[in-house]
Amino acid sequence: MRDRKPGRNVSFRVDKKAALLALAAVCLLAYALLFGRYRIEEVDDAWYLSYFYNKYVHGSGEDIAFADTAKANFFMAAQIAINGPLLSYFGWSKAVIHTINLAWMALAAASWWAIGGKVLGGGWKTRLVFVALLFASEAMIGAAYKARSDAMAFALASGAILLYAWDWPFLAGFLLLVGFETHPIALVGAVYLIGLAAHSFVQTRDGRALLRRAVLGGVGALCGVGYYFLLHRVSPAELIAFLRNDAGAGVNPLYSHFFLRAGMRFVPELGVVLLAFVIAVTKRDVFVRRPSFLLFGVVTLSSLLMTRGNFHYAIFYYPALVLLVVDVANTMRWRTFLALGAALYFLAFHGALLYRNRHIDEAELQSSYRALAGKIAPDKLVFGPPNAWFALKEQYRYPTRSRWVESYRGGAYLIVNDANPPPADFLACVSPRQAWRDQGGFRYAGQAIELYEVEFRGCR
């Protein structure tokens, strides 16, 4: 073996394939280890299952438990038709609905694997970095491990984008409206279709091909409109009125995701996106005609039109951001370092989340609620944390318009009475048990309020 000459520089080399596989492994491990441990108390888990349960079991679009609008009368018919039998057979639990949504996200990942090949070019390594980087983000993991409609809507919108990229505009337009029936946010997929159409026209200057795709896509969308009204016996005016009432106001979903949640812990991801954008603008002679650059511009600008700043909707905009990041990294020959840096970042990010939630024991928690449910008279109303819905479906009422503090360091609390709702000043207490002790009991509207404490060791 030859000795290294004195003074020779030793370069730092990273095994390219190992870096890519490390990122993929971290992504898969995050989904595997966070299953059942992502969030102990997520109101949407019970809220959306309450939608499904009321519509599938009772045939009612009204959500009694959460006193919400009749959303199931306007959307989610296909989702309820799929989820209802599965949940009835396997159980109305978080594990079942999270498994269903995980399957939808897997289908979305397969679509974006193919879309990434169309947009970015290159072989499997480029696609692997793109898909792993995209789906390792907490925005995507959150969609899989919440009971919301976002996962199914995202999968359908992703499928529509892929069909358009394969030059099947009729099916793309139809599938986009199928996604709309699941959740209106799926229409963000149309922005991707516009971006792809714009790139195709810039490259070919073929107006006839553009018109053909637009007409076929429009006809497919009209068929999708017929599909929607076949499932929902509402008038167009009623649908528009519902959408207007549900539109909300304020900042867009991307701003909400990066700056208004989780202590702004997603800002590092935004920093990488902004760096990629700056590089793309600096080298605009290289990137200006790239589909990734056009998609980034069209999709991010369209987000400014979204007035409902729900951070859950960020997943529909994320692919455009990650496409640009990966395209820039490829062009600058930084792909390996991007993969390695992302693997380390997500390993620390999801590792910290897993450590924080290490004591969560969902089975023990639900067992505690079920044991308590047997002690409560069936004609009583039960108010408390959303997790109680799974054991008390018919009796549970969510304490809306109150500052209910959900703390699991010492257990959870249920308030049982005949009144609806219980007094706001009682619900606003940081510790209902302490308030109970201080007041020596509580009565409201002539009814004695019972207080139950739910004990579970694994969540302390």
Question: Where do the domains of the chain lie?
Answer: 16-356, 362-459
For residues 182 and 152, is the Cβ–Cβ distance under 8 A?
Answer: yes
Res 176: pLDDT: 98
- How many Å apart are CA 75 and CA 79, to the nearest integer? 9
- How many Å apart are CA 352 and CA 198, to the nearest integer? 42
3-state SS class at 417: strand
Res 450: pLDDT: 64
pLDDT tens, position by position, 58-84:
888 777 788 766 778 899 999 999 999
Of 22, 30, 72, 29, the residue nearest 48 (C-alpha): 72
β-strand 443-444 against 447-448: which pairing, if any? antiparallel
Tokens representing 459? 């969540």
CA 289 from centroid of its chain's CA atoms: 31
For residues 74 and 234, is the Cβ–Cβ distance under 8 A?
Answer: yes
For residues 81 and 235, is the Cβ–Cβ distance under 8 A?
Answer: no
Distance, first Cα to last Cα, the chain: 58
User: Could you tell me which residues are beta bridge partners of residue 413?
Assistant: 453
Helices (H), 121-266: 124-135, 138-144, 150-165, 169-182, 189-204, 207-231, 236-245, 253-259
- The alpha carbon dihedral of 126, 117, 111, 182 has a sign of positive
DSSP letter at 60 equals -
Res 405: pLDDT: 41
For residues 255 and 309, is the Cβ–Cβ distance under 8 A?
Answer: yes
Residues in the chain where the model's pLDDT stays below 70: 1-14, 68-69, 246-250, 400-413, 415, 417-460
3-state SS class at 444: strand
- How many Å apart are CA 157 and CA 295, to the nearest integer? 15
Q: pTM of the full predicted structure?
A: 0.89
Res 321: pLDDT: 97
Tokens representing 159? 């499928």
User: For residue 2, what are the CA distances in angstroms to 5, 7, 417?
Assistant: 9, 15, 84
**What burial class does residue 448 get, using C-beta atoms within 10 Å of its C-beta: 0-12 exposed, 13-18 middle, 19+ buried?**
exposed
- How many Å apart are CA 31 and CA 206, to the nearest integer? 43
Residue 173, φ and ψ in degrees, nearest 5: -65, -40
Res 299: pLDDT: 95
Region of 75 (left: φ > 0; alpha: ψ -120 to 50; beta: rest) is beta
- How many Å apart are CA 375 and CA 380, to the nearest integer? 11
